[in-house]
Amino acid sequence: MTKSELVDAVSHRHSVPRVVAEAVVDSFFSGIAKALGRGARVELRGFGSFAVRAYDGYTGRDPRTGAAIAVKPKVLPVFRVGRELRLRVEGE
């Protein structure tokens, strides 16, 4: 499902104009992104949780030349699936 399809689904399910549904979906994703930017954890009961994880730098390899390259430390968002969603997906 794409973001556009999600907007359409919200619009149809709640009988609101597409513009309103798009604003709601954008606000939802923006709120999650802002919370993760602050380093907070976002938990959606029955769905899963988003968090940020810091990774140390390491020495990698250039796949073409095989030369060693330094990979800088980074902070990335991670998602952990919730129990209810996992069971729903496994049940299909």
This prediction's pTM: 0.79
Structure tokens at 43: 């938990």
- The 8-class DSSP code of residue 72 comes to P
91 pLDDT more than 90: no
State the pLDDT confidence band at 92, using cuts at 50, 70 and 90: low
Beta-carbon-side half-sphere exposure of residue 74 (alpha carbons within 13 Å): 7
Distance CA 7, CA 5 (A): 5
Residue 19 and residue 25 in contact, taking contact as beta carbons nearer than 8 Å: no
Write down the pLDDT at residue 1.
94
Q: Give the tens place of pLDDT for each residue, 20-75.
A: 999 999 999 999 999 999 999 999 999 999 999 999 999 999 999 999 999 999 99
Query: What's domain 3-91's architecture?
Result: Irregular (4.10)
